[in-house]
Chains A and B, each alone.
Chain A
Amino acid sequence: MADFNVNLRGVGSVSVIDVKGYLDAHTAPELENVFNKLLDGRQYKVVVNFNELKYISSAGLGVFMAYVETMRENMGDIKFSNMKENVYNIFDLLGFPILYEFYNEEHEAVQKFNN
């Protein structure tokens, strides 16, 4: 069932991951594959664009927890952008805003890496 889609693209030196649809325990491995690909390619500056993500469960949140430290240890980060309110509320409930940067627009998050 194609209820989740993940796409990887480069914006300058930053890797942007577009997530679309439903991110749950069934679809989270697809997102992990993309992060593993980034690590293989030593790409540590990541922006996740949530514009088309409708739903996230803790299995999806766990993926970001699993990779963020490695990115930061290598002068990178995982930053979030374009998140819908219902999705942001779940991140907020778990205290993510203390540990992660959230931006309204993708270019703001990309810009932050270039500063």
Chain B
Amino acid sequence: MNSSKKIFEKELHVKSTTENLSSIREFTKTAAANSGFSEEMVGKIILAVDEACTNIIKHAYKYSPDGNIFIKIIFKNAKFSISITDEGIHFDPNKIPEPNLNEYYKSKRIGGLGMFLMKKLMDEVKYSTLTGNKNQVVLVKYLST
């Protein structure tokens, strides 16, 4: 069986609470494993999605639990794509500097690591603003055959 030929689409809608991170991870894990990624790669994808959703809960919704997070996973032609959409405050990822661990150590700042991890773990990370004041981040990982 050639797993790169598989096509599927899965969706999850959750509220913006950190409590939901475990079900977001479970949802991502099942989809990534079904797409044929190795256990190590599944772990990386789960972490990237966790970081993206944590950022939304923290920055877009400022920990308000009533916000919506829509996650859509599409696997097609070996491209595993996760779109995460929110209706919170828009934040410009380009304004978040690359973290320097030594600087962090001195200043005790503990933000920005999530964005850095997402970029390290995934092949593509793209932020965009959609109509209706929605923000979207799309994370992509290619399945190498």
What residues of chain A have their CB less than 8 Å away from a CB belonging to chain B?
Answer: 1, 3, 22, 24-26, 55, 57-59, 61-63, 65-66, 68-69, 86, 90, 93-96, 98-99
Contact = CB atoms under 8 A, between A and B. Distances in A.
A99 B103 CA distance: 12
Interface residues of B, number: 31
Chain B interface helix/strand/loop/mixed = helix
Nearest to B40: A86
A25 B117 contact: no
Chain A interface helix/strand/loop/mixed = helix
Contacts of B116: 94
A54 B54 CA distance: 18
Contacts of B51: 57-58
B101 interface: yes
Contacts of A22: 22, 25
12 contacts: A24-B18, A24-B50, A25-B18, A25-B21, A58-B51, A58-B114, A61-B113, A62-B113, A69-B106, A90-B117, A95-B101, A99-B102
Given A58-B113, A93-B120, A94-B117, A24 B108 contact: no
B110 A66 contact: yes
Contacts, number: 72
A100 to B, nearest CB: 10
Closest 3 CB pairs between A and B? Answer: A62-B110, A26-B18, A58-B113
A58 B106 CA distance: 18
A58 B104 CA distance: 13
B17 to A, nearest CB: 8
A57 B114 contact: yes
A55 to B, nearest CB: 8
B40 A65 contact: no
B57 interface: yes
B110 A57 contact: no
Contact of A99 (B46, B58, B105): B105
Nearest to A64: B110
Interface string B20-50: 0110010000000000000010010011001
